[in-house]
């Protein structure tokens, strides 16, 4: 009788210790084929996980999930002032995909906004440095924007899939 009570108490103590160490009851999360996640344990990133079913202990572990499908970017009717005092009206369209889930999570509060921000900033910076005659070589301008955007996106964990200027017009000098 006392041996049974001792074993029950020992099992109870081990279960209590296990709950304290692992933080709670286990739950499972299923990631689809286009999802990746970073597993955090007690606030520290432990590893990246891919698609499939994963066991996560509530209260101690958390999965930060990212979608690796291409993120589409499209902005029209953007204006930029040029180096010679004229202005240009332009639109951009592009796509980017996550290559490194951990970098993408750390890059911004909402990783879906990163490609749009990078492409708009790079387009504006390149066109700000040009005058109206330089913008006539549209492919050269696109190449300079892509050359500037690719390393910035790579640093944030993304890969640039496509980029093009969809709308492009140079206006006359506003102030003379």
Written in H, E and C, the secondary structure of the chain is CHHHHHHHHHHHHHHHHHHHHHCCCEEEEEECCCEEEEEEECCEEEEEECCEEEEEECCCEEEEEEECCCEEEEEEEEEEECCCCCEEEEEEEEEEEECCHHHHHHHCCCHHHHHHHHHHHHHHHHHHCCCCCHHHCHHHHHHHHHHHHHHHHHHCCEEEEEEEEEEEEEECCCCC
What CATH number does residue 86 fall under?
A: 3.30.479.30
Same domain, yes or no: 97 and 50: no
- Give residues with Cβ within 8 angstroms of 168, minimum separation 6: 88, 89, 90, 91, 135, 138
Do 97 and 148 share a structural domain? yes
Asked if the structure places residue 3 within a domain, the reply is no
Are residues 43 and 86 part of one domain?
no
Number of domains forming the structure of the chain? 2
pLDDT reading at 33 higher than 60:
yes
The string of pLDDT tens digits covering residues 37-70 is 999 988 888 999 988 998 887 778 888 999 999 9
Based on the domain organization, do 64 and 80 belong to the same domain?
no
Q: Among residues 68, 93, 128, which one ends one of the domains?
A: 68
Question: Does 163 share its domain with 126?
Answer: yes
Which residues are CB-contacts of 30 (< 8 A; sequence separation ≥ 6)? 52, 53, 54
pTM to 2 decimal places: 0.78
Summarised one tens digit per residue, pLDDT across range 121-150 is: 999 999 999 888 888 888 999 999 999 999
Q: Which residues contact 142 (CB under 8 A, 6 or more apart)?
A: 163, 164, 165
**Domain final position from 10, 45, 68:** 68
What confidence category does residue 175 fall into, taking pLDDT thresholds of 50, 70 and 90? very low
Tell me how far apart the alpha carbons of residues 164 and 119 are, in angstroms, rounded to a whole number: 10
Domain that holds residue 122: 71-171
Please state the rounded mean pLDDT for residues 80-89. 88
Whether residues 135 and 106 fall in one domain:
yes
Mean model confidence pLDDT for the chain: 86
12-26 pLDDT per residue, tens: 777 766 666 655 566
């Amino acid at each position: 009788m006392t041996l049974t009570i001792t074993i029950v108490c020992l099992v109870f103590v081990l279960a209590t210790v296990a709950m304290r160490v692992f933080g709670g009851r286990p739950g499972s999360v299923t990631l689809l084929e286009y999802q990746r996640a970073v597993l955090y344990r007690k606030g520290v990133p432990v590893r990246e996980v891919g698609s499939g079913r994963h066991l996560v202990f509530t209260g101690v572990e958390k999965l930060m999930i990212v979608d690796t499908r291409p993120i589409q970017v499209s902005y029209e009717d953007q204006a930029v002032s040029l180096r010679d005092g004229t202005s240009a009206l332009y639109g951009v369209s592009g796509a980017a995909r996550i290559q490194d889930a951990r970098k993408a999570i750390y890059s911004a509060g909402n990783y879906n906004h990163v490609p749009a921000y990078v492409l708009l900033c790079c387009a504006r910076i390149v066109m700000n440095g040009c005058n109206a005659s330089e913008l006539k070589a549209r492919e050269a301008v696109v190449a300079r924007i892509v050359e500037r955007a690719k390393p910035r996106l790579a640093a944030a964990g993304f890969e640039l899939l496509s980029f093009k200027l969809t709308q492009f017009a140079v206006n006359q000098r506003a102030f003379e």
